[in-house]
Structure 1
Amino acid sequence: MNLFKTKRKVLYLILILLLIPNILLGGINIFVRKSSEKHIFNEQSINVLEDGSYDAILILGSGIRNNYPTPILKERLDTGIYLYENDIAPKIIMSGDHGQEYYDEVNIMKEYAIEKGVPSEDIFMDHAGFSTYESMYRAQYIFGVQKLVVVSQKYHLYRAVYIGKNLGMDVVGANATKTIMGGHRARLTREVFAQGKDFFKVILRPEPTFLGEKISLDESGDITNDK
């Protein structure tokens, strides 16, 4: 009988130990979403943004295939270009992964925007945007951004806006979601854990993989070509 009670206590203890991290993670997710949701807007409601009052539009990378943006990235690019065309900000920063010679998100992103009519000199490239945290950090530290419109899908914007605000920027998020694409549930699951990770990152403030020289948005975006 005592052995049975001991086993039951051990099982209860194991259950509690398993529940604590999940409760903590759930609490963080709720906090991040609640902190950010009032700062996220759709294309249709950009009238709430003051024209030209932002330093830049930051478009976060999301993969390329056969030297062309993935459907998710294309949504982000189209939204960012729309904001630029409506004079929400005078510059666009393309932030993505260019860590390898044969994988280059940011040049593909810039080429797409140029084809849509955005002048090359108004497009800056962040070649070391290896994560959402690093993209937001570098937007402030490298490009000197204080007021920012960040573009992504809504599920991702909660985290991006939260990071930016906790790094000290005035940030709003532009929701690029047009359609719910395949793999959405998997992305939502990954985002739960990513929010937990970046919640602690903005507290600890680790430096990104690369920093480098500061770049002024008053210059031509072409100074970031192939850097």
Structure 2
Amino acid sequence: MRMPGAGRAAGAVRAVPARPAAVRRRLGALWSWTRRTLRTRRGQRRAVQTLMLGCVLTLLPSTWMHAAAAGRVGDVAGAPKTPVAVVFGAGLWKGEPSPYLAHRLDSAAELYRSGQVEVLLVTGDNSRVEYDEPDAMRRYLTEHGVPDRRIVSDYAGFDTWDSCVRAKKIFGVDRAVLISQGFHIRRAVALCEKAGIDSYGVGVAEPHDATWYFGGVRELLASGKGASDAMLGRDPKFLGEREDGVRKALAGPR
């Protein structure tokens, strides 16, 4: 159904798309200018300076996050005893946790069984009815021995910053163990620290396959967005009223 005001206004000039020949001419002119510029020593120097500046700006957010997480990342055995563990979503395959997400949940269940954490906060995407990360995570954990009453779900953890801010502002988490893969865990720790959560990250070990390398490259872009969100104090997509699920779970029987 067409929304009111969606039609083209009367008398508006219809945009004429650029013709392929015109586009080719413009690209050719740009390429010729670039070649002429790079033939000169001054042009080459500027190109190198621009490239170096781009590299610095790309790596700066990731460098900040590694520095912020220094001394706060380890494995399951080294995790401090903490009331809450936060498990970040990592995608579903046919409604079930992806292998990477399953490995995060395995580590969370291990932390619970060993008594290092008391409550698991699972945070993920439920923006569509047919896609529900938190419930899939809860189901996996209960099948692996974690009581349902010790699991709390955050259905609006659309990205790492949203999950960290909501853990603090909505669920009242002040200290937490964070669980994710090694290429992501430092960003998670840095952002949760910025959100006001005293954090320790458990980096889940994975084989260095194509997925792992893709995740590492993706982190360069995600780090820039995360750093921007943290510096600007962006509110999550959904915030809402404070929930007492974590408090009730901690107060209940183990």
TM over 0.5: yes
Contact 1:152 1:177 in 2 (8 A): no
Indicate whether 1:147 and 2:175 are aligned. Answer: yes
User: Which residue is 1:23 aligned to?
Assistant: 56
Indicate the RMSD between aligned Cα atoms, in angstroms.
2.1
SS in 1 for 2:118: coil
**What one-letter code is carried by the residue in structure 1 that aligns with 2:95?**
N
Contact 1:55 1:148 in 2 (8 A): yes
The number of residue pairs the alignment matches comes to 214
**What one-letter code is carried by the residue in structure 1 that aligns with 2:247?**
D
Tell which structure's C-alpha radius of gyration is larger. 2
User: Which residue is 2:93 aligned to?
Assistant: 65
Q: Under a length normalisation based on structure 1, what TM-score does the superposition of the two structures give?
A: 0.87
Q: Whole-Å Cα distance in 2 between the matches of residues 184 and 153 of structure 1?
A: 9
Equivalent residues in 2 for 1:160-171, closer than 5 Å: 160-171=188-199
Q: Whole-Å Cα distance in 2 between the matches of residues 139 and 145 of structure 1?
A: 6
Contact 1:57 1:92 in 2 (8 A): yes
User: Which residue is 1:157 aligned to?
Assistant: 185
> Are the structure 2 counterparts of residues 148 and 61 from structure 1 closer, same or farther at C-alpha, using a change threshold of 3 Å?
same
User: Which residue is 1:32 aligned to?
Assistant: 65
Structure 1: segments with no counterpart, 5+ residues: 222-227
Question: Which of these residues, 130, 137, 145, is aligned with residue 117 of structure 1?
Answer: 145
SS in 2 for 1:140: helix
- Between the two structures, name the one with larger relative contact order (CA 8 Å, sep ≥ 6): 1
SS in 1 for 2:201: strand
**What one-letter code is carried by the residue in structure 2 that aligns with 1:218?**
R
SS in 2 for 1:218: helix
User: Which residue is 1:225 aligned to?
Assistant: none
Q: Whole-Å Cα distance in 1 between the matches of residues 144 and 62 of structure 2?
A: 36
Task: State the identity as a percent.
Answer: 27
Contact 2:37 2:44 in 1 (8 A): no
User: Which residue is 2:21 aligned to?
Assistant: none
**What one-letter code is carried by the residue in structure 1 that aligns with 2:210?**
G
**What one-letter code is carried by the residue in structure 1 that aligns with 2:114?**
N
Question: Which of these residues, 112, 118, 126, is aligned with residue 98 of structure 1?
Answer: 126
Q: Whole-Å Cα distance in 1 between the matches of residues 235 and 221 of structure 2?
A: 20
Contact 2:86 2:121 in 1 (8 A): yes
Q: Whole-Å Cα distance in 1 between the matches of residues 95 and 57 of structure 2?
A: 40
SS in 2 for 1:43: coil
Q: Runs of at least 4 residues of structure 1 off by over 4 A? A: 3-7
